[in-house]
Amino acid sequence: MLKELLNDHQLFHSEFQQDYFITGLSGKTLWGMYKQSLRELYKRTRGLRESYCDREKLEVEIEQQYEIANKKKDYYKAKFAAIEYKRKTMQLEELNRVIKDTEREFKRFYQQALSLKEKLGELTEDKKKELEEETQIFKIKEMICIDLRTRGMLSNVSYERINAVPYKIKKKILDDISSGNILKWYEDREDIPLDYNKKVNICLNVSKEVKKIN
């Protein structure tokens, strides 16, 4: 019964959390979401490469402890080896669970990155700079709107962000605040359509993809 219950336990994030609370919430714009999906994909790639090596090492250690436990030339050495064999076997089981859910997250962030990349099109250095500026302005304006709705005034952090950007951008933001247009912009903005499921075969061999990166 315990095994059946634990089979329903999912490590890490759900697909909903990945789409909306990680990539969507952190990214805000297509470019921001693309960058966030790449950050998450990179983290999973690094984690999986380490985990695959850990698993290979653990499998060798299990084999080694099994042989020592069954030789029985030294009674106590064999007994301790039998205990280590059980311990490492359980560690391998847990590691496989971690790998399985990390691969699941990897696939989703891979789906996100490919879909968002397709929407963005060719990314020249000039276009990247333009998209980055748009994303940072969006985040400042959103911060301001949240301040106005929740506090009725701007926070120190919002003022610092406004003053940090070039004068032309700062003036435009301040004009939008004074005219009230900024709240209308925030409330009327359209959601970015998400269609991540169309882009990656769910049967993707994650281990093969991760290991072939040099």
CB count within 10 Å of CB 91 equals 16
The answer to whether residues 144 and 150 touch, using CB atoms and an 8 Å cutoff, is no
pLDDT in the model for residue 200: 59
pLDDT in the model for residue 198: 61
pLDDT in the model for residue 194: 73
pTM: 0.87
Smallest CA-to-CA distance from 128 within 138, 117, 114, 139 is with 117
pLDDT in the model for residue 190: 77
Task: List the pLDDT tens digit at each of the 214 positions of the chain.
Answer: 888 887 788 888 898 999 889 998 888 899 999 999 999 999 999 999 999 999 999 999 999 999 999 987 889 999 999 999 999 999 999 999 999 999 999 999 999 999 999 999 999 999 999 999 999 999 999 999 999 999 999 999 999 999 999 999 999 999 989 888 899 888 888 777 677 766 556 567 888 888 777 6
Spatial separation of the C-alpha atoms in residues 190 and 186, rounded to whole Å: 9
pLDDT in the model for residue 47: 95
Smallest CA-to-CA distance from 164 within 143, 194, 146 is with 143
Smallest CA-to-CA distance from 38 within 99, 149, 115 is with 115
